[in-house]
Amino acid sequence: MKTFKVGTILLLNVVFLLGSWHHSESCGWYPEENDAWRFFDATLAQQPTYRPLYFSFDRLYSYDWDKPEYTHNENLQTWQSHFTATYKRDIPLAAIRSVIYQTNLTDLTTIKEAINNKNASIPASFEENQLVQLWQKKGEIDYIDYLILAKQCEPYAVEGNRWDNEELPVAERTPMQALIKEASTRSEQVREEELKLRYAYQAVRMAHYAGDYRSALTLFDRLVGKEPIEHLIYYWTLGHKAGALRRLGTNDPQAAYWFSLMFDKTTSKRINAYYSFHIDNEKEWQKTLAYCKNANEKATLYFLRGIKPYSNALEEMKMIRLLAPMSPYLDVLLVRELAKLEKELVPNAPNYPAASLAYLQSLKQFVVEIVRKGNRENKALWILALGYCDYMKGDTQAARNTLKNLPTRTLTPQVKRQMQNFELMFQLSELKQMDASTVESLYQEIEQTQYKPLKNLMIRTFHQWYEKQEAPAKAYLSYHGQYDLDSKPTLEMIEAVLSLMKQSSFTAYEKELLAKVKSEAYLLEMKATMLLRAGKLKEAKKLLLKLGDEQLTKRTGGPITTAYIKDCLSCHQGETYTRLDFINTVEALSKQATQQDKVAAEAYLKLGNAYYNITYFSHAWQLMAFFRSGSSMTEYDYTNCEKPLEYYKQAIALASRLGLKELAAEATMMAAKCEQNQYYLAKGKKRSWEYTTPTYTTYRTYFQRLRTTYSTTFYYQKALNECFYFDHYVGR
């Protein structure tokens, strides 16, 4: 028994129950369907009117269906057939389109006046229109009268619909009721059957959108009748009848049946019917099937059930094969099932999900039976599908053998491209070695296809091989670039990329990889920065000196050795410095700190400031990093404040011995900042924007010391004025 899923996009009767499709798209943003692993060309199904349903989890496969040429053409062709039969001459489609879809009420009223009054002029843009000329010659205004009423209905059908069952305001309902009455009266009075049906359509449509659902049902039965009419507008009107029935509050299976008829009989409203078709359970399903009058109608129901986004449609395919063996539904469902399977299997090869692999085997057996029978019009599609099933199972040789059954003399360019892509996929899966010539050959062939999914598969294959070969730079750069390296740099990866740059020759793929990163000088400065982070100042300085001043990155900010109570990434400006300048400053201060005098105490304070200012929290962070995110500070290793805290401790100790209370107070305040930052970095604490008060016993020791020991200093008052945290602490 088939499971009926509630909660899919098919639950909403979007078009006929809620209004126009464009309203249904206005609720929010929809992501584009990921096509990274879409290898089987769904358009091989050669069913363009079903193209939107070829398969996409997120939305429809194609967005062409709601463009005018898709939604208008069927109606225009119906008009053209009618006019050809009526006037015994061909009327160009362009002339009909101009009158039907490119006029407004003023245009139509003016044309009517010109037909009725020979002294009146037809609008200049319609003087050469063959249909208008014919109406003027015959003095015929019946069609113009209909189009005028249709234009009057149009705003309520497109813009005036509601999202739910709320009643329309009287201001909107009153003119709609007048239009319903006018359309129904004309439908009963006009002699021509074409116009009778079209007026009935306007009446039923207006009643539906006005929320007068019972009237919509009554009007349909009275104006259209209960017997089916093989006419486009009959099925359009039937869709509104189905919507009205559904709106009465019960999920009547007959409404689902009517939607299925509209789906099968029209192309312009097919997607509308797709979204409106809705069956909840087996009982409703059986009732809906009972309404079907022939095998094709039943096949349509199975197709609509099979194209639910998360439905495995093999059961439906088998039923459709029994009911309508030559139905195009089978081709569409085939490409849908292949698309779903490739999203599960190809990215996970060879670690296939067991359920997907089992389903693949069942689908393959079904395809084998179809191919053996040989009675499909699109034989190439099914042979390609069988080969692709073999490939997804991991048997490329069987896939090649299957594809040999394709009649090479009659292959279309599209089929040939698919075969070419398959062959390159086979070669990637069969790789036994990865040398430069193999990489170059495959890369060049795949680049020529300009097929993104195939390129993605190549990258994944190369990446796996590079990991096996312990080629870390090429493995890393297959999926990453300079941004990733800047975000989370490691000395090992930087050195690996630099080593790759030193090769004597490069394949085209290696050149593509290296194009993702910046210059050798930039990477060398990154390496020096990582050494600086590790405290290896001498090694970092040696590397920076080799680069030379012209190649060093220059940063602008406040003085590197100045203490700031308030952290600010961009407030402090005025100096330009490089990483080499920082190292030279630290070296000079380290020499001064060897003494036991005021100069040494000041040197310790400045060393603490210099190391604090290059952390994540301060203005010179770019000397220590290439990337900073305000939302994930705990992920970076230039946030640790232990080193500046150690220097502040030494500054406090020496300044205290020398009686330098102001200096000691300043160092104590800066030590308190280090302590507070360490709190935010402590394991298990919340992120910075989710502020919680640090515990006073562990993370406020230097605030306490500043308060009890240095409350008489000028710096104490400065700290109170500038530091909210300290002011809050003192006032608690």
- 340 pLDDT exceeds 60? yes
Joined tokens for residue 694: 């640090």
Q: In whole angstroms, what separates CA 491 from the centre of its chain?
A: 35
8 Å CB contact between 298 and 257: no
pLDDT tens-digit readout, 22-48? 323 333 333 344 567 889 999 999 998
Predicted model pTM: 0.80
Say how far apart CA 386 and CA 383 lie, in whole Å.
5
Q: Which ranges of 518-660 would DSSP assign to H, the alpha helix?
A: 520-533, 537-547, 579-592, 598-613, 642-658
**pLDDT band, residue 169 (cuts 50/70/90):** low
Does residue 141 register a pLDDT over 90? yes
Give SS3 for 26.
coil
pLDDT at site 31: 38
| β-sheet bridge partners, residue 114 | none
Once rounded to an integer, what is the mean pLDDT over residues 422-435?
94
Closest listed residue to residue 623, CA positions, set 705, 560, 573, 536: 560
Cα atoms found within 13 Å of the Cα of residue 670, Cβ hemisphere only = 33
* Span 521-568, pLDDT tens digits: 999 999 999 999 999 999 999 999 999 988 999 988 889 999 999 998
Q: How confident is the model at residue 89 (pLDDT cuts 50, 70, 90)?
A: very high
635, pLDDT greater than 60: no
